[in-house]
Amino acid sequence: MTDATKRPAGVLPFPPAANREALTVAELADLYMAAYRGRDRSRPHYLTQWCELLGSLRIRDLDADLVADTLATWAAQPAQRFLGRDAATGQARWKELGPRRAASINRMRSALSALLRYAKRQRFVARGWVNPVLDVEAQREDNARTRFLSDAERERLLRVCRLSKWTKLHLLVMMAITTGARRGELLQLTYGDLDLSKGSAYLATSKNGEPRVLPLTPIVVAEIKRLGVKPADVLLFSAKYRSDKPMSFGTVWRTAMKQASIENFRFHDLRHSCASYLAQSGASLAEIADVLGHKSLDVTRRYAHLTVDTKRRLVQRVLGCIGEAA
């Protein structure tokens, strides 16, 4: 992609109608990103990958076999993380992260599909043209991971977070556990979204595209007040020198995990912890889905075994003696 991604909103340098069906993948990506107003921050990355692989090809020349083969080739390459450039040579340094996960492959596939849907909406392809990505099967993802913090792990984590050099790590972790909100949802909160008198936070847009209200516990409210309430347009978890940019807290999070001796745990698993605690306390799947903002109970069913275990213990405690011989 080129500097087209920097054009002002609404400025779409569409090619003449006679040349639209000759657009290349790279040219279409420029037009698409100039108009893109989505919330997926990974979209530019994956489209850049497609431009490197198929950028010079015309949209009308793509077919399902080519897309599938290209995606398979990309998927076979190990994932990498950019570590910066060598100070002496200026060469880029990369760290191999191992095989690409199914979720990454599906995001790569989805990025191209979204690009081609845009081409069809803008009539850059002939009438009746079919998006070739539709004939490329998505990878099966294992979304059933339900790792959650034990009571001991939670106590250790909160203790070390309180001592973190970033003073708001403890608050962020507490809110993740007690609201079940996603990382991105928490990071987009401003002080104007908070109603501390009612103990709530308003999410204008969640991952599902719908507004949502997060109940705040008294301890969370007290912690926000202790840290100091700022103007309405300031992010609750802002960067050190940019009140409009969220904090990049990866380093302090990893440090806290190490100090707390917690392994095989991601920040997103705090959301699972919230749901698991609710399930073990007797909440129904519908109640858990409401807290997490799930549109469908199908996603929430991963916690079903926990609700069943809770009900089983309750029945055994209250009703287990019925029928015993006198």
pLDDT tens string 22-70: 889 999 999 999 999 887 888 999 999 999 999 999 998 899 999 999 9
Query: How far apart, in whole angstroms, are the C-alpha atoms of residue 188 and residue 237?
Result: 8
Please give the tally of structural domains in the chain.
2
Q: Does residue 8 share a domain with residue 130?
A: yes
> Could you read off the pLDDT of 180-232 as tens digits, one per residue?
998 889 999 999 999 999 999 998 865 656 788 999 999 999 999 999 999 99
Query: How far apart, in whole angstroms, are the C-alpha atoms of residue 147 and residue 276?
Result: 9
* Spatial CA neighbour of 39 closest among 210, 180, 248: 210
Examine the fold and report which residue of 135, 167, 186 is the final residue of a domain before the chain moves on: 135
Query: How far apart, in whole angstroms, are the C-alpha atoms of residue 133 and residue 117?
Result: 10
Quick check: 223 and 174 in contact, CB under 8 A?
Answer: yes
Query: How far apart, in whole angstroms, are the C-alpha atoms of residue 110 and residue 229?
Result: 40
| pLDDT above 80 (res 259) | yes
Copy the structure tokens of residue 113. 């599909």
Q: Does residue 243 share a domain with residue 272?
A: yes
Examine the fold and report which residue of 266, 281, 296 is the final residue of a domain before the chain moves on: 281
Q: What is the pLDDT at residue 3?
A: 44
pLDDT band of 8, cuts 50, 70, 90: very low
Q: Does residue 170 share a domain with residue 113?
A: no
Query: How far apart, in whole angstroms, are the C-alpha atoms of residue 50 and residue 111?
Result: 9
Q: Can you give the residue range of the structural domain that contains 61?
A: 3-135
194-195 and 92-98 beta bridge pairing: unpaired
